[in-house]
Structure 1
């Protein structure tokens, strides 16, 4: 039985359910916190299945979005027929269908993060003809209890691309790759990462799954489903997983680096005629740098996100860009230039890498913010090019560089300053910005890391608190 069947009509789903003895139909949806949610139905009654596929169902929006008040909380989830897959973790034959959110009038729910991103993408395309694509590097720690003495020990910061038996969870990671392919999530590769932590009877081993480029709405959805798959595969193997930006004080944190390119008329606009960065790419980089401090409100959403910046374990701290520099906020990875022409139609092999986000990011709002930044840059070319020139590390040398925020509180203040740009053209609803600021300031972490300086045990308490967020 194919785990990723192709459907274009409701009757095809009904036929598939009957022919494959599917017992459960799940309507799955992705709310504000990015975790895949599930509403389950018996699939044994054909008429009931037809009704579900036609109407979807009502759900309590106030428990899914902080932007929705309890007194007007009903929203609809409606199935997307072309986004169905067999649940690879269910012992009972189960079909999952991803859903969209609709308001009381059957229109796309304004505050749903996916719809915010859709408006941003539509605005960029209508004004420039450009479609942004992205791929995400998902870093995570697999966690298990130490039951026996390790025969092949690993060492901190030395685990990059390690193989078994030194990499303990290579089989878990490879099962994630296979499962993602089975349900229609294209991946680039997987490997062990630098981090390894052994303490308190636990082993924490860092890994990475890199996804293949997709349009931003598709990539944001893929990020949520990938985290769902990773957690379920780990549970199947009796281990846990953490996507926290920082799991231990002296060890590498988890990032979610984003590679970006722009496609116009089937061509990647990142590359100039001479094979170097194009002027449009420089403008795009300038735009992301211009909004870098407020973008952390969507890409770095918990206090430990900022400890990752401060610790400088291959993570950025300054707003700057450079070639291959892993401490820069934006870097230009190697492009296979010696191969000559490598781009095919709609190809995204050549990118620039935005290194601030972490796996607890709100991917939809982050990508919407990046899209706003790119749109602004292409309309304000001189400013964007000046920013790119001024913040190029190879040219700026030892000049004082602007820092990224050091706390959720500081990130919220930057979002408040830039909110007019995000709210312009109705892209970000005012209440989404309001609630984002409220949530970030609610952590009360303005000087948290200063207060905890020299108190490693207190810092470890904070790290444990966020170990299983996201």
Structure 2
């Protein structure tokens, strides 16, 4: 790392060790703990429910620290994953040194490390979501020679008692500033703490959702990250959820990533932007426009989009969000700058290089070609998603699209320009497939297309079976229609799933 990168890096470990986290060694971690008087070490790992679990260690000696960093520890996998039987449930959790960060919430100096799961033979647990993503990423790079990068957009609501001063306007909270937004300080503090834990943040802002209901105030925010290799991209989303919930607990407010808080108000998604790089060049752009590779990837995602909901939309209230005219997708198609499609291609600074010079005449020429920032965005997933499996599914579907005969033709057929709900689109829209409208339909779509995900041994068959079974147990086919107008039943359902993944 360059000196400037070290000096401005918010990570305590990077500044102390003066190296990139990818280069952290066991000896680095031990030296940091010794010289910073670390008293406790926590192992963290995301289980099937997507929430971070914790195993705590009080460090008694250098030898003790060396042992846990070298050997990890045993855990009961049957209480972490539904598809592991109690009779053979012991798993190892092994820390990944590059993930080390200081816990910002403890008075006692405490170091945190994210862990991977290993089976009784010391091999990566095939059905661990983290390992499924690692396999998908490795297969993509092996077959394309490229690096797949992604970034998450994390939307959430702050739920609190009402504040009558400077009330925000109903459903008009997008990019509002204080005093008309009440919890910008919580968001700003979260961003700082996420960055200290290794997250690479692009920006944060208030979102559309802003309303009062039953003497309760609901305020929506979003934190968006920078593109990262897929494992790091998912880790920072999971850490961000933990940080936000911890801060909510300190502030005395609820933080919810639930896909829907109430009908008729903005839901919360977890969108993922994607790009592909080779030799530090973004391959989504060619000759100033979206490349054939990008369009093939989009076709692959659209082809698998109904089954992808099994990983990204995992609870009944997910399908209260996926309704027409709510800036959430329902129809399998894609387009530019369109928020009602499965895949959106946002502005990417193509052909827009002179804006800074126009805004700042004294700056002079903005010479030199800057790396392309172009991405495309999968808009279906929500806060109930298992981000490891969702991103793994996107990687698998993208790779399949690159290799799929007729992918470019499919992409052309499924492209829409402008608002897809305009009257002139009605006839064409009727020919497009619809996303599932319930967990049961999502399970049925995964049953039909499970071979896409099981190819190359990436998603184990047992995991797919478990996902299908879990989704079907909700028995929620037609639930949206049954709940229509029944506010008490909707409120009860929302409360049941208020603290998802």
Q: CA deviation at 1:311?
A: 5.4
Cross-structure match for 1:84: 100
- Distance in 2 between the 1:373 and 1:419 partners? 11
Cross-structure match for 2:245: 231
The 3 A distance-change label for structure 1 pair 65 and 347 is farther
Q: Under a length normalisation based on structure 2, what TM-score does the superposition of the two structures give?
A: 0.89
- For 1:367-406, list aligned pairs within 5 A: 367-382=391-406, 384-394=407-417, 397-398=425-426, 399=428, 400=430, 401-406=432-437
Cross-structure match for 1:75: 91
The 3 A distance-change label for structure 1 pair 347 and 370 is farther
- Distance in 2 between the 1:329 and 1:106 partners? 40
Cross-structure match for 2:12: 3
- Name the SS of the counterpart of 1:191 in structure 2: strand
Unmatched runs of 5 consecutive residues or more in structure 2: 1-9, 355-365
- Distance in 1 between the 2:281 and 2:270 partners? 26
The 3 A distance-change label for structure 1 pair 57 and 347 is farther
Q: CA deviation at 1:392?
A: 0.8
Q: Confirm or deny that 1:354 pairs with 2:354.
A: no
Q: Decide whether the 8 Å contact of 1:196 with 1:205 is kept in 2.
A: yes
The 3 A distance-change label for structure 1 pair 353 and 374 is same
- Distance in 1 between the 2:460 and 2:402 partners? 23
- For 1:444-455, list aligned pairs within 5 A: 444-455=475-486
2:32 alignment partner, one of 8, 16, 32: 16
Q: Decide whether the 8 Å contact of 2:285 with 2:372 is kept in 1.
A: no
Q: Decide whether the 8 Å contact of 2:198 with 2:236 is kept in 1.
A: no
Q: CA deviation at 1:200?
A: 2.2
Q: Decide whether the 8 Å contact of 1:195 with 1:205 is kept in 2.
A: yes
- Distance in 2 between the 1:312 and 1:293 partners? 19
- Name the SS of the counterpart of 2:410 in structure 1: helix
- For 1:41-60, list aligned pairs within 5 A: 41-60=57-76
- Distance in 1 between the 2:75 and 2:145 partners? 36
- Distance in 2 between the 1:420 and 1:311 partners? 30
- Distance in 2 between the 1:129 and 1:381 partners? 20
Q: CA deviation at 1:4?
A: 3.5
- Name the SS of the counterpart of 1:65 in structure 2: coil
Q: Decide whether the 8 Å contact of 1:27 with 1:40 is kept in 2.
A: yes
The 3 A distance-change label for structure 1 pair 346 and 433 is farther
1:241 alignment partner, one of 243, 255, 260: 255
- Name the SS of the counterpart of 2:264 in structure 1: coil
Q: CA deviation at 1:307?
A: 0.7
Cross-structure match for 1:430: 461
1:319 alignment partner, one of 332, 355, 364: 332
- For 1:278-317, list aligned pairs within 5 A: 278-310=291-323, 312-317=325-330
- Distance in 2 between the 1:410 and 1:10 partners? 47
Cross-structure match for 2:230: 216
Q: CA deviation at 1:172?
A: 0.5
Q: Decide whether the 8 Å contact of 1:299 with 1:356 is kept in 2.
A: yes
Q: Decide whether the 8 Å contact of 2:261 with 2:494 is kept in 1.
A: yes
- Distance in 1 between the 2:213 and 2:296 partners? 46
156-165 or 384-393, which deviates more = 384-393
Cross-structure match for 1:114: 130
The 3 A distance-change label for structure 1 pair 230 and 409 is same
- Name the SS of the counterpart of 2:186 in structure 1: helix
Q: CA deviation at 1:348?
A: 6.2
- Name the SS of the counterpart of 1:393 in structure 2: coil
Q: CA deviation at 1:183?
A: 1.6
Q: CA deviation at 1:394?
A: 2.6
- For 1:162-177, list aligned pairs within 5 A: 162-177=176-191
Give the aligned CA root-mean-square deviation in angstroms. Answer: 2.0
- Name the SS of the counterpart of 2:97 in structure 1: strand
- Distance in 2 between the 1:2 and 1:167 partners? 29
Q: CA deviation at 1:453?
A: 2.3
- Distance in 2 between the 1:129 and 1:346 partners? 23
- Distance in 1 between the 2:248 and 2:397 partners? 37
Q: Decide whether the 8 Å contact of 2:11 with 2:198 is kept in 1.
A: no
Q: CA deviation at 1:347?
A: 5.1
Q: Under a length normalisation based on structure 1, what TM-score does the superposition of the two structures give?
A: 0.95
Q: Decide whether the 8 Å contact of 2:334 with 2:343 is kept in 1.
A: yes
How many pairs does the alignment contain? 466
Cross-structure match for 1:407: 438
Q: Confirm or deny that 1:63 pairs with 2:82.
A: no
- Distance in 2 between the 1:175 and 1:441 partners? 39
Q: CA deviation at 1:45?
A: 2.1
- Distance in 2 between the 1:311 and 1:22 partners? 52
